[in-house]
Every structure is written in C-alpha cells, then in structure tokens.
Amino acid sequence: MVRQIYLIATGIVFTISIWMIFLWAPTEINQGQVQRILYLHVPFAWASMVAIIAIAFTSFLFLLTKNDRWDNLSQSLAEVGLVSAVVMLFSGIVWAKPVWGVWWTGEAKLTTALVLFFIYCAYLLFRNYFPPGNARNRIAAIIALIGAIDSPIIYYAAQIWEQNHPKAVVGPLASEESSLNGEMVITLLFCVLTVTLLFVGLVWTQYQTNKLLRSKNV
Amino acid sequence: MLNWFKVLSILIKKDIKIEFQTKETLVTLCLFGLLIITVFSLSTENNSLINQNFGAGILWSSVIFAGSIAMVKFFYHEEQNKTLQSLLVMPVPSELILFSKSIVFFIFLSISEIIIFLISSVLFNLNIFSLKLILGCIVFNIGYSVVGSFFGVISSKSSSKEILLTMLLIPIITPILMFIIATTNDVIRSELNSNFQTWLGLGISFDIIFLTLMSYLFGKILED
C-alpha cells in the first residue's frame, strides 16, 4: 500500500517535471529545443552513477552479513541501473549529434558511461548464466565490487585517452561553456529529484518482484 | 618462502605439461588470432594510412578475442577433470593457484603475440617492433592474464562460458586496453610527443591493484 502511494506521488511529480521541461523552462538560445534533452539525460546519468556505488555498498554488506536481502537489493539496483544507463546513453547520443555535430566522441565521460553500461550487463549476465545458489550470489557481489573499483580507473584512463584525441569542434557550443538561467537550473534540479524518486520506486518494485520470484524459486 | 616457490613451480609445470599434451590453448590463441588478422587484411586495402590508423585496433582485437576463447579452453580441462577441486583439498594457498594460472597464460599469450605481430607486420606492412611496445605488452599481458584467470575460473562453471568470460573480462580490462592501443598507435605512427609515461604509470598501477585485489578475492570465489 505504502509503495503504491509512493508510486502515485512519483507519477504526479513526474507529470509536473514534464510540464516544467516543455512549457515552463525557456528555450536555450544556442542549442534550441534540443537542450531540453539534458533535463532527462543529466538525472539518468546521475541515477546510473549512484546505482553502481549503491550496488558496491549493498554487495559489500552482503559479503559481510550473508543476508539475502542485500543480494536481492544489489540485483534490483543493477536492473534499474542498467535501464538508467541505457536512457543516459541514448539521450546523450541524440543530444550530441545536433550540438557537437557527431553522435559519439572519445570523451572521458562518454567512454566511462559506455563501459559502465557493459559492467551492468556483465553483472546481470553472470547472474543469469551461473547456476543459482550461494556461490552465485557471493561471486556476483565480488563482481560488483570489482566493477565499482574499476570505474574510477576507467575514467582516469579515458581522460588520458582524451588528450590524444581531438574533441568534437562542430556546433555552436563547441568552444564555449553553456550557461543555464534560473528557471533552467530549477527545472534541472526538479528533474534530478523526479528521476531519483522514480529510481527508488523502480528499485523498490523490482525488489518486491525478485523477492516473490526467489520465494517461488523461479 | 622456499616452499611457496616450490609449490608455484610444481603448479606451473603441471599446467605446461597438460598444455603440451593437448596443445589446445596455444593453438587456439595463434590460429584464431591469425584468422581475425586475415579477415581484416581481406577487408582493408593495403594502404599505409589506413593501416596506421586501424593497425593497433586490428592487432589488439585479434589478441583480445583469441585470448578469451583460449582462456575458456585453458580452464575447460580443469572443470572437466575437477583439478581445481582436488587442488583446494590440498594445503595449497588459493592465491598460488591464481598466480600459476596467470603465469602460464602470460607465457602462452606472449608467444602468440610474437607470432601474430610478425604476421601482421607482413600483411599490413607495419613497423611495430620497439622496446616501448615490448614493455607495453609485458604490462598488458600481466593485467590480462591475472584478470582473465580470475574470471576464467568463474565462467568455467557456467554453461555459456565464452560469452560470460568475454562480457566480464573486456569491460574490466578497458584501462589497460586503452593503454596498449595508445602505445601501439604511438609505435606505428612513430610519434615522439606521446604521454607514454603516464600510460605506463596507469598500466603498472592497474596490474598492482588487480593483482592484489584478485589474489585476495580468489579464495572467496572458491569457497564451498
């Protein structure tokens, strides 16, 4: 019941954020309408980054306590984290083409995001392919920890890589910093709050679903 | 300490002896790697500019994919004959098993790289032999062998070994993969102003971090 009320409240907040994105926030002068993608891209990027840290934390707690609830939470976080990573990548690609002139560049953040997506895939594939049981849950927790430890190294490597490759210089924003006005900042922060609420709601729902599936040994 | 080295050398000898009987890992590594190189050489014109731009990518794609297929073969016999379980019953520290596997795979990988590089330099008309690349290959092979052996043991228990190992291995080794591709690009293009030292620092740090981490976690994945 509590979860249903929470999800309805999230739905209302989400509707308000849609109104803010398309009707309340002004159109950015340089980028035009395409800039509105950032109101979804940034929050989903935030959600997918937070998810990997949360998975590492819950996996560590699982290894420490051997309590199945932490393992279930890690799995649910990874499933929702993967969806967030897909939304982040797709919205980023759609935004980059008209603004940078290219779909993809070797930028550190982009490379890290893509590898992060593959880490989520690897974690979930492992859970799917490995025979169920204590060994699978323990090894999955170890993989999650390794993925989280590797993420900052990947980011650092991508930064060095970026120095070797020219950045995309096509587009109106290529050589200048973007500036958001007050209403845009409020909209962006509201969207971050909305996606965070949505993320928690989805993880919560997924947690209950996985709990049910585990009790039925599916 | 002497006992430690003795046990390690026995484990290495065991793996090399098995490989000399079956010859599966080394043959898979070399042949599969060369096959990928040949496919690429058929699909690109023998243009020096194209080869300079894509040479590093082609070389390392063949090594990575041949390596992951060979890694599956390498651990297949362990799982079939339950050798790993037998070793765990004996008073052998678990990290020694990881070290022995990594060292043996490091040797096989290095041999296959020499062959693949020789053939590629002929097929793509590339001048790739330099001290910088040898150093880079050593650092890369250490990281690849350690992380690969760790995930090789994990995936050997799964029904979809090949896909699982590749999916686990490649995202994790991305930093050293970037390092070795950047180094190979520098060598192929004969670039003088490169940040090789920064890359080398990153590669060595990766090896140290993952060697420590995986030798600690290896015992945990073999519990039960």
| Confidence class for position A178, pLDDT limits 50, 70, 90 | low
pLDDT band at B48; cut points 50, 70, 90: low
Is the ipTM higher than 0.95? The answer is no
Mean pLDDT value of segment B61-87 = 82
Count structural domains, chain A. 1
Cβ contact, residue pair A149, B209, below 8 Å: yes
User: Does residue B3 belong to any structural domain of this protein?
Assistant: no
Domain containing A65 equals 40-168+179-215
Tell me, what's the pLDDT at A218? 61
CA–CA gap between residue B47 and residue B36 (Å, rounded): 18
Q: Is residue A50 part of a domain?
A: yes
Q: What confidence score (pLDDT) does residue B75 get?
A: 82
Residue A119 inside a domain? The answer is yes
pLDDT at position B44: 72
Q: pLDDT band at residue B192, thresholds of 50, 70 and 90?
A: low
Instruction: Please check whether residue B150 lies inside any domain of the structure.
Output: yes
Contact map slice: A 147-166 vs B, CB within 8 A: 147, 149-150, 153-154, 156-158, 160-161, 163-164
Task: Tell whether A75 is covered by a domain.
Answer: yes
A190 assigned to some structural domain? yes
- Cα A27 to Cα A95: distance, rounded to the nearest angstrom: 15
A121 touches chain B (CB under 8 A): yes
d(CA B137, CA B124): 19
pLDDT at A170 over 60: no
A45 is a domain residue:
yes
Can you give the pLDDT at residue B140? 94
Q: Say whether A150 and B168 touch across the interface (CB within 8 A).
A: no
pLDDT of residue A175: 45
Contacts 24+ apart (CB under 8 A), A150-154: A150/A119, A150/B171, A150/B172, A150/B174, A150/B175, A151/A52, A151/A112, A151/A115, A151/A116, A151/A119, A153/B175, A153/B202, A153/B205, A153/B206, A153/B209, A154/A111, A154/A112, A154/A115, A154/A116, A154/B174, A154/B175
Tens digits of residue pLDDT in A127-163: 888 888 888 889 999 999 998 888 888 887 777 776 6
User: Span B207-216, mean pLDDT?
Assistant: 91
Q: Average the pLDDT over B209-213 and give the result.
A: 92
Does residue A173 have a pLDDT over 60?
A: no
In B, which residues are within 8 Å of A135 by CB distance?
157, 221, 223-224
Say what the pLDDT of residue B42 is. Answer: 80
* Contact across the interface for B223 and A135, Cβ inside 8 Å: yes
Q: Inform me whether the pLDDT recorded for B43 exceeds 80.
A: no
Residue A168 has pLDDT above 60, yes or no: no
**Domain ranges, residue B135:** 24-221
Give me the residue label for tokens 């980023």: A92
pLDDT over threshold 70, residue B190 = yes
Q: What is the pLDDT of residues B76-116, one digit of tens each?
A: 777 777 777 777 777 778 888 889 989 999 999 999 999 98
Per-residue pLDDT at B142: 95
Picking from A115, A131, A135, the nearest residue to B174 by CB comes out as A115
Specify the number of domains making up chain B.
Answer: 1
Residue A172 pLDDT > 70, yes or no? no
A14 domain residue, yes or no: no
Sequence-distant (6+) residues with CB within 8 A of A96 are: A102, A103, A104, A105, A168
Residue of A nearest to B163 (CA): A125
- Inside any domain, residue B168: yes
Across B56-75, average pLDDT: 86
Q: Is the pLDDT of residue A174 over 50?
A: no
B140: in domain:
yes
pLDDT at B22: 78
Over range B30-50, report the average pLDDT. Answer: 79
Kindly determine whether residue B172 and residue A146, on different chains, have CB atoms separated by under 8 Å.
Answer: yes
Nearest CA among A96, A155, A143 for reference residue B154: A143
Quick one: pLDDT at residue A177?
53
DSSP state of B192: S
Query: What are the phi and psi torsion angles at A28 (to 5°)?
Result: -70, 135
**Residue A171's pLDDT band (boundaries 50, 70, 90)?**
very low
Number of Cβ pairs < 8 A linking chain A and chain B: 87
Q: What is the pLDDT of residues A113-132, one digit of tens each?
A: 888 899 899 999 888 888 88
Whether residue A30 lies inside any domain: the answer is no
B160 in contact with chain A, both atoms CB, cutoff 8 A? yes
In a domain, residue A60? The reply is yes
Mean residue pLDDT across chain A: 84
Q: Name the percent of chain B lying above pLDDT 90.
A: 19
pLDDT tens column, A56-103: 999 999 989 988 899 999 999 999 999 999 999 999 889 888 888 888
> For A20-64, what is each residue's pLDDT tens digit?
888 888 887 778 888 888 889 989 988 988 898 999 999 999 989
With respect to residue B18, please indicate whether it lies within any of the assigned structural domains: no
Least CA distance to B177: which residue of chain A? A157
